[in-house]
Amino acid sequence: MNEAALQLEGIEKTYNRGRPGEVQVLRGVNLTVAPGEVVALVAPSGAGKSTLLHIAGLLDTPDTGAVRIAAEAGVPLVPVILWGTQRLMTKDHPKDFSRGKTIAIRVGEPLHPTGTDPVAETADLRGRMDRMLEETIAAYPAQEQPPGSWWTPARFGGSAPTPEEAERLDAEEKRRRAEARRARQGDA
């Protein structure tokens, strides 16, 4: 039996979950692609094609995929938080691989998902990881997070954008790129 080159099962993705403008883009998507198989995703604009490809290419994460996979395999999910890595290489900032930077790694207690309610179990995992991240940032050496640091959230004295601000900035950048692309195509 040939193994799949790509297999996605029960993929769900919702943007702005629990906030105004919540949009469920993917719901229970299954996709299996055999080695050498050619697949075309054809659907109207906004149907989730790009989101699905981003998840397949590990550029984005599904809402419940990790919990479903772990539950099916009967293995725990071990939450891991890294803090300080964003200082080394982040979009719109110079790469800095110089010595002397602290990279904090925090490993949490395993979560043993059953798969009976993957949305709730995913919310539990995210909640644990959010708390771990807050604790990790708070414990990070203060001398490496001076006030106004671009990599530190504002609630810790930095100037990093909130996730909502980052989403808005990304949308603006995509819009500018699309306009530039249209302008170049108009010149051709």
Q: Is 96 part of a structural domain of the chain?
A: no
Domain range holding 19? Answer: 1-63
The answer to whether residue 132 scores a pLDDT higher than 50 is yes
The whole-number pLDDT of residue 1 equals 43
Q: Which residue is associated with the tokens 């990070």?
A: 140
Q: Is 97 part of a structural domain of the chain?
A: no
Q: Is 22 part of a structural domain of the chain?
A: yes
Which DSSP string do the residues of 109-138 spell out, in sequence order?
Answer: --B---SSSHHHHHHHHHHHHHHHHHHHHH
The whole-number pLDDT of residue 136 equals 95
For CA atoms 22, 23, 27, 31, give the dihedral sign. negative
Q: Cβ(102)–Cβ(84) under 8 Å?
A: yes
> How many other C-beta atoms are found inside a 10 Å radius of the C-beta of residue 83?
21
**Residue scoring higher pLDDT (107 or 162):** 107
Instruction: Look at strands 80-83 and 104-107 and give their pairing.
Output: antiparallel
Q: Is 150 part of a structural domain of the chain?
A: no
Q: How far apart are CA 45 and CA 182, in angstroms?
A: 18
The burial of 94, by beta-carbon neighbours within 10 Å (0-12 exposed, 13-18 middle, 19 or more buried), is given as exposed
Model pTM greater than 0.75?
no
Q: What is the DSSP letter of 160?
A: B
Count of domains in the chain?
A: 1
To the nearest whole number, what is the mean pLDDT of the chain?
83
The answer to whether residue 79 scores a pLDDT higher than 60 is yes
Q: How far apart are CA 57 and CA 65, in angstroms?
A: 14
Tens digit of each residue's pLDDT (9 = 90 or more) over 136-153: 999 999 999 899 998 899
Q: Is 7 part of a structural domain of the chain?
A: yes
What's the rounded mean pLDDT across residues 90-110? 87
Q: Is 131 part of a structural domain of the chain?
A: no
Tens digit of each residue's pLDDT (9 = 90 or more) over 19-50: 777 788 888 888 888 888 888 888 877 788 88
Q: Cβ(137)–Cβ(152) under 8 Å?
A: yes
The whole-number pLDDT of residue 139 equals 94
Q: Is 135 part of a structural domain of the chain?
A: no
For residue 156, the SS3 value is: helix
